[in-house]
Amino acid sequence: MRFNGPMTAEEKTALAVFLDAAAASLTGGRRRTEALYRFSDDPPPGAETGGGARQALEGLDREIRACAACGLREKRTQAVPGTGAAEPLLLVVGEGPGAEEDARGLPFVGRAGQLLDRMLNSIGLSRETNCYIANVVKCRPPGNRDPLPEEIAACRHFLNRQIAVLKPRAILCAGRFAAQTLLETSEGIGRLRGRFSVYGGGDSGDGFYAEASPGAGIPLLPTYHPSALLRDESLKRPAWEDLKLLRSRLAELSPAYAESAGNSP
């Protein structure tokens, strides 16, 4: 008796009957009737949701860490794919890894990352439970300069695919560069922050997310990068206003979040 791949309910029943018959012949006991077996073809919880998303993300992580498509590979310590929940309420997108991220292989782990975690925690979010954190480019630009157009072009498909797998309910762009890249605009962060846009396509209008979920658009909110708040404390108040706006929108999108975060839709 051979089974290739996941077993169907019929195959599970056949195997159970076979094992029961074998046990009965060895012990002289009575066999159960086939009707007493109850198996289902339904996948186990998580097999096509969080489990499948996690496997897809792990595959993407391997591709990202092996990527040599642009010049950033020459001076990186390692690529930085992303981290967080596989079925997040929120995707946080930054510009690119810094020195500490390059050393550790995780996004937002330096001083700015610690501040980001506190910002998210203040409205009931965390990378451990309901957020995923990634960057536009996955390798550190030398001197933390802005990524070059050719570097973005080489790397952007990874972010596209991450969004398609994650299907976040909302996106928070941390800083000018991430917001300008995802919204394909040259407007400054001071004009972009404080209001939602709808993100529903990919680079060059390829519509990757719309293809993954037809007709869908993701609410996208730009805010100041945590490193900017560390340099200029006057930005903390408008950044907090952005977080409250985000909290309200997430409460509308997710009653479970509204209840856990102490909000009402």
d(C-alpha 39, C-alpha 8), whole Å: 8
Q: 0.85 exceeded by the pTM?
A: no
For the chain, give the number of residues. 265
d(C-alpha 92, C-alpha 223), whole Å: 11
What single letter denotes the amino acid at residue 215? Answer: G
Residue-wise pLDDT tens digits, 46-64: 334 457 999 999 999 999 9
**What's the pLDDT score for residue 32?**
47
Least confident of 15-24, 100-109, 156-165: 15-24
CA distances from 11 to 34, 203, 223 (A): 12, 46, 54
Where do you find CATH 3.40.470.10 in the chain? 50-260
Direct distance between the N- and C-terminal alpha carbons of the chain, in angstroms, rounded to an integer: 55
Q: Is the pLDDT of residue 220 over 90?
A: yes
The 3-state DSSP class for residue 7 equals coil
Q: 114 with 138: CB under 8 angstroms?
A: no
d(C-alpha 125, C-alpha 192), whole Å: 22
pLDDT category of residue 43 using cuts at 50, 70 and 90: very low
- Average of per-residue pLDDT values in the chain: 83
Check residue 136 and report its DSSP letter: S
Residue-wise pLDDT tens digits, 183-213: 999 999 999 999 999 987 544 334 333 333 3
Its CATH class, for the domain covering 50-260, is alpha beta
What single letter denotes the amino acid at residue 2? Answer: R
